[in-house]
Structure 1
Amino acid sequence: MSSVFLAIVAVTVTGAVASWTGYGDAKFAVFVFVFGAYFVVLCLHEFGHAYAAHLAGDSGVAARGYLDLNPLRYLNPVLSLLLPAIYLALGGLPLPGGAVLVDRTVARKRWQAAMISASGPLFNIQFAVIAMVAIALAAPTVGAPFIVGGSAIFGPHQVFWQGVSFFAYIQVAVALLNLIPVPGLDGFGIIEPYLRPETRRGLEPIRPYGILLVLLLLVAFPPVRDGFSHAVESIMSTFGQPYYGPGQGRDAFMFWQH
């Protein structure tokens, strides 16, 4: 396990403890906590792709260092790390992060090839569920102004839980974004092995521009943006999440605005 990943985990834990205890500037602590947690999951997301490829028979992922959770080994540090970090720091939805080079042709079964793509978003889903379940169980003690059943719930550690709520929102949104079946995204990689060869060849030119197309639709077309936001909010509501939690967490995360 790379020392870079361990350092990210240590920073994340420090931010979490500081926001929980209220040590120092609690909102800055939320920034450190959520920012670090995002990159921890990003590393695990890419590790998921690499490990699934390794199990399918791609021995090259180990040689390229993809199994040690070091984000600096990703394909493009600017597109994979810097730009998502900037988007997140601005309070927006981070772009799908790192990218590992894997050989999908080694997969003997179509389900193995599909799992190479699915294994990354599964980490986002897993951490989103963990965060949402933790909030749902802690709802009676979550600090105001969390709203449960139309009433404000007061309690300790409110800034910490607001940060967890914002983190959960990010993970749900990133998972949904990654699972859109557009060439270049993991959602397409999941169904690609089951498509006819001529269909795959016809869609191949779209692959480099798939994420740009999706982001353009989300930015330029309000119905698409609103539909995406509604889908994220519906998932969180299903898990009993406070309606205003992610927004409050985002406000705490952007500590420089206060």
Structure 2
Amino acid sequence: MEATRAHHRTTAPSAVPVALAGTSGAAVWWDLPPLTGLWVFVFVLSAWLLSLSLREYARTRAALHGGGPSAALGSAALAPTHGAHPLLNVLLPVLFLVMSGIGLPGGAAPAGRHRVPGRARRSLVALAGPATHALLAPALAVPFRLGAMDQAPLAFRFALAFVVMLQVTAALLSLLPVPGLDGYGVLEPWLPCGLRRRLEPPAPYGLLLVFACLWIPAVDGAFWDCVYPSLEWLGVRQDDIYYGLEIFRFWQEEPVVRF
């Protein structure tokens, strides 16, 4: 019985982000000024943390089903935001969100990934992270595609549009073939051993390198040239995203959007 309970615990992601997102989302929907900005901040942040949890959960489950060692991977499946590297997979993505307003996911792979048998399976484990965001984006954008958000409270519409944007940016950025990101993790099993060893030391800094490059105007412009068409296809307007970011930054002295 104890073993059964332990197995059950390894198959359930943490419910804390779900509770936070649900509670704050309801508060945003009912529009409770003057705390609207604060509720939007909590809703967006908790939704982002929830997506990071689902991302790590998907990668862990992919590693387990791929034949990875359950002893190294089981604890991460219980609460992905805790089992993952706390700096790379939680703190830095939250910091990047607050500083720049984009969804830049973490880069650390689940423990034991390199012990998954087969190069193709290891590539699929790395691909599970970006795939999570790529699936969440259209799922969250369904109300926009159906026109249902036209009648929704403005604060909720803007906040949800901002969350969709975070998923799109996370999917695109995590696919970059930069050491330390999932895009490189997809390619890594197929690279020569010598090249992998040379690229291993700078891998922990890959996430910071990508963030720094986004401050270069040419790089930033090219990046958003990829993001905005994807959002337009999903039915999410740029204005809604912009206003969502403005409300999210509730600490600004003179917010653009007033309720």
TM range (shorter): 0.7 to 0.9
Instruction: Give the match for residue 145 of structure 2.
Output: 136
- Distance in 2 (CA, whole Å) between partners of 1:30 and 1:191 is 38
Give 5+ residue unaligned stretches, structure 2. 1-8
Q: CA offsets per residue over residues 21-77 of structure 1, 9 Å max, x none?
A: 2245333222121111000010111111211111122224566511112422322x3
Are residue 243 (structure 1) and residue 243 (structure 2) matched? no
Instruction: Give the match for residue 193 of structure 1.
Output: 189
Instruction: Give the match for residue 36 of structure 1.
Output: 46
Instruction: Give the match for residue 131 of structure 2.
Output: 122
3-state SS of paired residue (1:65): helix
Change (3 A) 1:124 1:43: same
Asked whether the 8 Å contact 1:56–1:106 carries over to 2, the reply is no
- Normalised to the residue count of structure 1, the TM-score between the two structures is 0.84
Q: Which amino acid aligns with 2:220?
A: R
Instruction: Give the match for residue 160 of structure 2.
Output: 164
> How far has the Cα of 1:241 moved from its partner?
1.9
Root-mean-square deviation (Å): 2.4
How many corresponding residue pairs?
243
Range moving further from structure 2, 1-10 or 158-167 = 1-10
Q: Which amino acid aligns with 1:126?
A: L
Instruction: List aligned pairs for 1:79-118, cutoff 5 A.
Output: 79-97=88-106, 99-118=108-127
> How far has the Cα of 1:138 moved from its partner?
2.4
- Distance in 2 (CA, whole Å) between partners of 1:194 and 1:100 is 17
Give 5+ residue unaligned stretches, structure 1. 143-154
Q: CA offsets per residue over residues 167-220 of structure 1, 9 Å max, x none?
A: 01111111111110111110011122223334333433432332232222222x
- Normalised to the residue count of structure 2, the TM-score between the two structures is 0.83
- Distance in 1 (CA, whole Å) between partners of 2:237 and 2:13 is 34
Between the aligned residues of both structures, percent identity stands at 33
- Runs of 4+ in structure 1 off by over 6 angstroms are none
Counterpart of 2:224 (choices 224, 229, 236) is: 229
Q: Which amino acid aligns with 2:14?
A: F
> How far has the Cα of 1:4 moved from its partner?
8.9
- Distance in 1 (CA, whole Å) between partners of 2:91 and 2:195 is 34
- Distance in 1 (CA, whole Å) between partners of 2:73 and 2:95 is 30
